[in-house]
Structure 1
Amino acid sequence: MTTPKNSGRRAHLVSLAGDLFAEKGFRATTVREIADAAGILSGSLYHHFDSKESIGDELLSAFLDDVLAGYREAATDTDPRAAIERIVRSSTATLSRHRAALTMLQNDWAYFSAQPRFGYLRTAMKEIEQTWVDQLTRGRETGLFRADLDPRLTYRLLRDILWIPTSWSQSKGAWTNDEIVDGLLRLLFDGITARP
C-alpha cells in the first residue's frame, strides 16, 4: 500500500527524486540513490511508491496539469495577442515551478514517449501546440499578425525559447522571470529593428 499523494513525506520524496532525475537523468537514477538522498532504506521507498516510474509520473503529470490549466485559461481571451502574452507569462511561471519535470522531458523524452504509462505526454503536448497554433492562426487571419506567419514554426521557435531560460534564474545576477518574459514579448511583438 502506498502513501496518499497529499502526504508531506511523499511530496518531499518526489522533490528529492525530481532533483536527481534532473541532474542524472531519469533512467540513470536508481531507487537506491533516491532512498539514500532521503535517508531511508531502498525498500522503504516502496511504502510510498510502487516504482520509480510512479515518481516520474507524479512529477510529469503535475507539471502538465499546471501548464494546461494556464493555457486553457489564456485561450479564453478573445484577443490573440493578449492570449499569446498570457500563454508566455503562464509558461514562464509554470516552468520555473517545475524545473525538474521540464529537464526530465528534455533529457528523456524518447524514453517517456515510448512507454504506454506516459501516453498522456503526447496528448498534452498536442494540446499545448494546438493552443499556440490556434492563437497564432487567429491573429494572422484577423490581420493582427503578419500574413506570412507560419503558426507551427512560430510555436516551435517560441516553445524552445521559453524552455531555455528556466535555468538562468538559478545563476547569480540572472534576470528575473518577469524580466525574461518582458524581453521575450518585446522581441516577439516589436522586433529588434529600430523604428524611424
Structure 2
Amino acid sequence: MVDRQMTPASKLGDQGDVLSNAARLFREKGFERTSLKEIAEACNMLPGSLYYRYNSKEALLVELMRRGVDLVTAEVESAYASSDDPVERLRLCINAHLRALLVDSDAVYVLLFEWRALGPQAREEIIELRDQYESLWAEILETMIEQGVIRKNVDGRLLRLIGLGALNWVATWFDPSGAHSLDAIGDLIWQIAMDGVISKGVQA
C-alpha cells in the first residue's frame, strides 16, 4: 500500500492547492519530469513540508487519483438519489459523471492518462478504487435491467464498459468554449441509450 497522509491539501500551503498544482504540472510536464520540489514551489511552500506529507511523487499521484474517484462517486450517488424515475436517473447520472470529470481538467487528465506511472502496489490500489466506482454503475444498470427499464437481452457489463469508456473520452476533446455544453453532450449520450437499450414501453 502506498504511504499517504490524509491531511487536506488546503492546509498544506498559504497559496494554492497542492493537488491542483500537482495535477497541472503533471499534465504540462508529465509525471516523470515533474519533481516534488517544483510542486512545492508552485504552492509557495518549503519542499520539506511537502515531503513530510507525501514521501514520494507516487504517493501524491495516488492521492490525486483517489480524490478524483471519490468526487465522481459522490456526484453520481447524489444524482441517483435525486429522482425516483429510473430513466431520469440514468440521464442525471450520465451528466453527473461528465461534470465531475471536467471540474478540473488537469486532474482528469492525470486520472485518465497517468496510470502507466504507477508501480504495482499503487496500481492495485487505484484499480480497486476504480472497480468500486464501476460497481456503482453496475448496480444502477443491473437494477434497470431487472426492472425491465433496460431490455433483458442487453449485456449489463458490456453496456457499462462501453458507456463509461464513451463518457471518459469526452475529457479528451471537450471545449468549455465550444458549441456544446456538458449537459447537451450528456443528454445526447442519454438519448442514444434511450434509442438503443431502453425498453420502448418506459421511454419518456
For the 8 Å contact 2:73–2:133, the answer to whether it is kept is: yes
The percentage of aligned residue pairs carrying the same residue is 28
Alpha-carbon separation, structure 1, partners of 2:44 and 2:15 = 13
Over residues 38-75 of structure 1, what are the superposed CA-to-partner deviations in whole Å (9 max), with x where a residue is unaligned? 56775564366433234323322221111111233344
Task: Find the residue that maps to 1:9 and give its secondary structure.
Answer: coil
What letter corresponds to residue 81 of structure 1 in structure 2?
V
Structure 1 residues 167, 9: closer, same or farther in 2, change over 3 A? farther
Pairwise CA distance, 1:186: 1.6
Match of 2:17 in 1: 12
Q: What TM-score do you get using the length of structure 1 for normalisation? A: 0.77
Determine if the alignment matches structure 1 residue 53 to structure 2 residue 53.
no
RMSD: 3.1
Alpha-carbon separation, structure 1, partners of 2:179 and 2:28 = 20
Pairwise CA distance, 1:174: 4.2
Moved more, 170-179 or 61-70: 170-179
Structure 1 residues 38, 137: closer, same or farther in 2, change over 3 A? closer
What letter corresponds to residue 90 of structure 2 in structure 1?
I
Match of 2:30 in 1: 25
**Consecutive unaligned residues in structure 1, runs of 5 or more:** 192-196
What letter corresponds to residue 131 of structure 2 in structure 1?
K
Alpha-carbon separation, structure 2, partners of 1:56 and 1:100 = 12
Runs of 4+ aligned structure 1 residues displaced above 6 Å come to none
Match of 1:194 in 2: none
Pairwise CA distance, 1:79: 4.0
Pairwise CA distance, 1:154: 0.8
Task: Find the partner of 2:114 among 102, 108, 113.
Answer: 108
**Greater relative contact order (Cα 8 A, min sep 6): structure 1 or 2?**
2
Aligned counterparts, 1:1-196, within 5 A: 5=8, 6-7=10-11, 9=14, 11-35=16-40, 37=42, 42=47, 45-46=50-51, 49-76=54-81, 78-112=84-118, 114-116=120-122, 119-170=124-175, 172-190=177-195
Over residues 108-152 of structure 1, what are the superposed CA-to-partner deviations in whole Å (9 max), with x where a residue is unaligned? 224437234x64422321222222222222222222212221111
For the 8 Å contact 1:85–1:185, the answer to whether it is kept is: yes
Task: Find the residue that maps to 2:34 and give its secondary structure.
Answer: coil
Structure 1 residues 75, 112: closer, same or farther in 2, change over 3 A? farther
Moved more, 7-16 or 82-91: 7-16
Task: Find the residue that maps to 2:102 and give its secondary structure.
Answer: helix
Task: Find the residue that maps to 1:184 and give its secondary structure.
Answer: helix
**Consecutive unaligned residues in structure 2, runs of 5 or more:** 197-204
Number of equivalences: 189
What letter corresponds to residue 170 of structure 1 in structure 2?
D
Alpha-carbon separation, structure 2, partners of 1:39 and 1:126 = 36
Structure 1 residues 10, 153: closer, same or farther in 2, change over 3 A? farther
Task: Find the residue that maps to 1:97 and give its secondary structure.
Answer: coil
